[in-house]
Amino acid sequence: MTPYDQFKRTGDAEMDRLLDDFGKLSARFEKMHEELSELRGHGEAANGQVRVEVAPGGALLGVEIDPRAMRLASEELCEAIMDAFTEASDMAANRLNGVLSPLIDRVDGFNEAMQGRMPRMEPGVGIGADPQVAEALRSLKELRAKYDL
């Protein structure tokens, strides 16, 4: 049962189906938050002597440099760090896209399906007035903007 099961049926089968879909979407959104909190990208270079971990968006979480890498020239070590970082960033971006794409596609589909179907309501009334729905939509917009989706 989702928090959106509380919505009353509208009498319009298509609208009720869309509301049910939105409830399922919100459950997926909560699961997605968990997946995103654990999402990391890993990269390595110089035959595994340099390892980097990043978060989505490229935040550097860790760098490991094997003592053998200190034998590299400073330019080579810098290049290895950058290569590992690039690999880790690409991995994190691909994983992020894999987590967000299905959800964004469903939100876009929901928005398109709702165009012209919602009755006019006074401000502060209806689905958008539900604080959980408003927060979910706000969070989705922030994620899309943050990760340029």
- pLDDT digit string, tens, across residues 1-21: 444 445 566 677 777 777 777
Q: What is the pLDDT of residue 4?
A: 47
Question: Across the chain, what does the average pLDDT equal?
Answer: 78
Q: List the single range of 2-6, 29-33, 110-114 with lowest mean pLDDT.
A: 2-6
CA distance 92 to 147: 11
Q: What share of the chain is helix, strand, coil (3-state, %, to 5)?
A: 65, 10, 25
Q: What is the pLDDT of residue 2?
A: 46
Place 117 in a pLDDT band, splitting at 50, 70 and 90: low
pTM of the model: 0.56
Q: List the single range of 15-29, 50-64, 89-103 with lowest mean pLDDT.
A: 15-29
Q: Determine the average pLDDT of the residues in 86-109.
A: 81
Long-range CB pairs of 85-89 (<8 Å, 24+ gap) are 85/43, 85/52, 85/54, 85/60, 86/43, 87/41, 87/42, 87/43, 87/44, 87/45, 87/52, 88/41, 88/42, 88/43, 88/52, 88/53, 88/54, 89/41, 89/43, 89/54, 89/58
CB distance 18 to 114 below 8 Å: yes
